[in-house]
Amino acid sequence: MAPSAGHLRPGRYLAFFALIVVVLYALVFFTGGGKATPKLGIDLQGGTRVTLTARTPDGGQPTRDSLNQARQIIETRVNGIGVGGTEVVLDGNNIVITVPGEQGDEAKNLGRTAKLGIREVITSVPNTPGAPPAAPASGAPSAPPTAPSKPAGGGGAEGAPAQQPPGSTPSAPGAGNGQDAGKNPIEAARAVRQAPALMPKDPKNQQEAAAAQAAQQKALAALTCAPNAADPLEGNDLPNQPLVTCGDKDATKYVLGPEFIPGTEISSANSGYDQQRGQWIVDLSFKSAGGKTWGDFTSANVGKQAAFVLDTDVVSAPTVQNAILGGNTQITGKFTQTDAKNLADILKYGSLPLSFDSSDATTVSATLGLASLQAGLIAGAIGLIVVFVYCLFYYRLLGILTIWSLVLSGLLVYAVLVLLGRWIGYTLDLAGVAGLIIAIGITADSFVIYFERLKDEIREGRTFRSAVPRGWTRARRTILASDAVSFLAAAILYIIAVGDVQGFAFTLGMSTVLDLVVVYLVTHPLVAMVSTSKSKFLSNPRNLGLGAVQKLGAQRKSTRPAPGRRANVKEA
């Protein structure tokens, strides 16, 4: 026997739901700066879309594995620097990064190769456009362009003035970098700027030293250091060969030895502010092998320079003041806080297996997004009005309960969207709005199932009061099954889909779960309260849209034989 409606204690259910709403909106208004609006995606608030085109040293097609690895690393960088709502997807040989809002500049840095290596400085000369390079002393490090500061306490390599900040466009060699007509630009640049002849095999051999010095002069003369100049070697330099490149914000040209510590030996990188120097720095910790190599180098090369080379650009050329043991050191320079953080994040989250050109950067206007959002809201409003009219016409007062339940469901969904935007960076896009509109139908369908079950019970001759618990017992199984199927479909769609389709699946699945909360904590308790009400108006079946089924139930009940008596059957 089903429990009576009075045993439900609907007031407790409604109070519990009210507590949930109060807690959610307290979090909405009293956390996160009090901004009570969901985060919007690029299609609603505008933003930037950056397309990165992969390039390989031989000009061939990049492998699918390398593209997937690059995409995963960029996604890791996105999560690390907190760029909310960013999408990273593969489009053929391109990686497309979509960033909502005003974070487009950060997206342009996400595709940096971040190939870091530490090389010994063989020589360095000032970059004087139009003037022949000064003759370097081959095999011996020259003095840094500016006098180095004294080493900081705690051990570290004190840096020369800052080189190219990671947040800006790399100032790398461009035209005139040894690129011969008809040759692959990368191979042509390597032939001049990474020629083995740049370093003598035997530094004591005067003939080899003179030949190396001549090769260095030729490479330095061919090297162009200018802002925004493209470097074909960016991300494609050979670590086992010397390198002629730029640094110090294009103020210095460097001749560097082979890489003796790769960036993969860095275990962690963090930015911070050095109070003694009054500048932002990047602290590095090496793995065991890299730390030992770094300790050996600094012990044997006190007074010499070591260059931290990021994508062929010298970001810092510190002069070794003392032996640095233990694997902890610093990259110093005239970094801003953003520059230091970007560099630390790029080094921390790994190097890309491919180098990329930013082939396209498109800014999406927020005006179009707002128009699309307005259209979506209008569509949702029309859908709600249609549902409201149908419920009022067909269910009368029960329809009002449906409308009230939908309103409360909307309040619940809105608060959850706002909080998810703060806590996990969820952004609402047009596809998500579509999912919310479809969820209106799923929520209304739960009410329809419940109310039709009530009609079935009343057709059997039961009163409205006795039909409520019986109808709910049968209806909730169907509601649970229906919502379970909808949630499972949304979950599968979210797992296998990408991009906008995931936003649709997420809001659909979330709304389905919240539908159960509303039906259990609001709709059923409200119907139970109406069924036990002593008000003649509320208890009148006609006002509840149940008049016709009650008449049918009364007819069936009157023609039904009394309990314990057999119906008379007349044979033909």
The CATH number given to whatever domain includes residue 433 is 1.20.1640.10
Burial track 261-300 (b if 16+ CB lie within 10 A, e otherwise): bebebbeebebeeeeeeebbbbbbebeeebbbbbbebbee
Burial track 116-132 (b if 16+ CB lie within 10 A, e otherwise): bbbbbbbbbbebeeeee
pTM over 0.85: no
* 359: in domain: no
Do 404 and 446 have their domain in common?
Answer: yes
Do 103 and 128 have their domain in common?
Answer: no
Lowest mean pLDDT among 160-164, 240-244, 283-287: 160-164
Q: Residue 22's pLDDT band (boundaries 50, 70, 90)?
A: very high
Which positions ≥6 away from 263 have C-beta within 8 Å?
114, 115, 116, 117, 347, 351
**Which has the closest alpha carbon to 174: 223, 120, 130, 141?**
223
Rounded (10°) CA dihedral 524, 526, 531, 533: 160
Q: Quick check: 138 pLDDT over 90?
A: no
pLDDT recorded at residue 308:
86
pLDDT recorded at residue 369:
64
Angstrom CA distances, 458 to 279, 540, 545, stand at: 79, 13, 12
Q: 323-365, pLDDT tens digit by residue? A: 888 778 887 777 788 878 877 876 776 667 777 776 566 776 6
Do 28 and 57 have their domain in common?
Answer: no
Do 457 and 547 have their domain in common?
Answer: yes
* 65: in domain: yes
Q: Quick check: 421 pLDDT over 50?
A: yes
The CATH number given to whatever domain includes residue 322 is 3.30.1360.200
* 569: in domain: no
Q: Residue 21's pLDDT band (boundaries 50, 70, 90)?
A: very high
More confident residue, 20 or 438: 20
* 354: in domain: no
Do 294 and 211 have their domain in common?
Answer: yes
pLDDT recorded at residue 564:
56
Angle at 92 between CA 90 and CA 98, to 5 degrees: 35
DSSP symbol at 58: T
pLDDT recorded at residue 185:
81
**Domain boundary pick from 314, 349, 384:** 349
Do 395 and 295 have their domain in common?
Answer: no
* 323: in domain: yes
Give the total number of structural domains in the chain: 3
Which positions ≥6 away from 443 have C-beta within 8 Å?
405, 406, 409, 511, 515, 518, 519
Q: Quick check: 83 pLDDT over 70?
A: no
Contact 5, 510 (CB under 8 A): no
pLDDT averaged over every residue in the chain = 78
Q: Which residues on neighbouring strands pair with residue 285, listed in sequence order?
A: 268, 328
For 358, counting Cβ atoms within 10 Å of its Cβ (0-12 exposed, 13-18 middle, 19+ buried), the class is middle
pLDDT recorded at residue 462:
81
State the average pLDDT over residues 137-151. 35
pLDDT recorded at residue 142:
36
pLDDT recorded at residue 568:
53
**Domain boundary pick from 108, 134, 155:** 108
Q: How, if at all, do strands 243-247 and 313-316 pair?
A: parallel
More confident residue, 19 or 350: 19
* 325: in domain: yes
Q: Quick check: 180 pLDDT over 90?
A: no
Q: Quick check: 553 pLDDT over 60?
A: yes
3-state SS, residue 94: strand
Do 134 and 35 have their domain in common?
Answer: no
Other beta carbons within 10 angstroms of residue 509's beta carbon come to 22
Q: Quick check: 147 pLDDT over 80?
A: no
3-state SS, residue 272: strand
More confident residue, 257 or 401: 257
Q: Quick check: 181 pLDDT over 50?
A: no
pLDDT recorded at residue 143:
34
Lowest mean pLDDT among 2-16, 464-478, 558-572: 558-572
DSSP symbol at 519: I
pLDDT recorded at residue 491:
93
Contact 207, 197 (CB under 8 A): no
Angle at 87 between CA 81 and CA 90, to 5 degrees: 120
Residue 370 and residue 45: Cα distance in Å, rounded?
7
Q: Quick check: 159 pLDDT over 60?
A: no
Residue 218 and residue 253: Cα distance in Å, rounded?
12
Q: Quick check: 235 pLDDT over 50?
A: yes
State the average pLDDT over residues 435-458. 86
Residue type, position 474, single letter: R
Residue 294 and residue 136: Cα distance in Å, rounded?
26
Q: 371-388, pLDDT tens digit by residue? A: 777 887 788 788 888 888
Do 330 and 399 have their domain in common?
Answer: no
The CATH number given to whatever domain includes residue 100 is 3.30.70.3400
Rounded (10°) CA dihedral 173, 178, 182, 183: -90
Q: Quick check: 32 pLDDT over 50?
A: yes
Q: Quick check: 44 pLDDT over 70?
A: yes
Q: Which two tokens stand for residue 484?
A: 């379970």
Contact 402, 386 (CB under 8 A): no
More confident residue, 475 or 332: 475
Which positions ≥6 away from 147 have C-beta within 8 Å?
none
Please provide the size of the chain in residues: 572
Do 299 and 415 have their domain in common?
Answer: no
What's the domain range around 450? 5-40+367-559
Q: Quick check: 416 pLDDT over 90?
A: yes
Contact 330, 94 (CB under 8 A): no
Do 104 and 124 have their domain in common?
Answer: no
* 17: in domain: yes
* 358: in domain: no
Which positions ≥6 away from 130 have C-beta within 8 Å?
none
Residue 85 and residue 47: Cα distance in Å, rounded?
10
Contact 290, 265 (CB under 8 A): yes
State the average pLDDT over residues 204-227. 89
Radius of gyration of the chain, Cα coordinates, nearest whole angstrom: 36
Do 35 and 54 have their domain in common?
Answer: no
Do 328 and 201 have their domain in common?
Answer: yes
Residue 296 and residue 180: Cα distance in Å, rounded?
40
**Which has the closest alpha carbon to 498: 73, 48, 95, 46?**
95
Q: 89-109, pLDDT tens digit by residue? A: 887 788 888 777 666 666 666
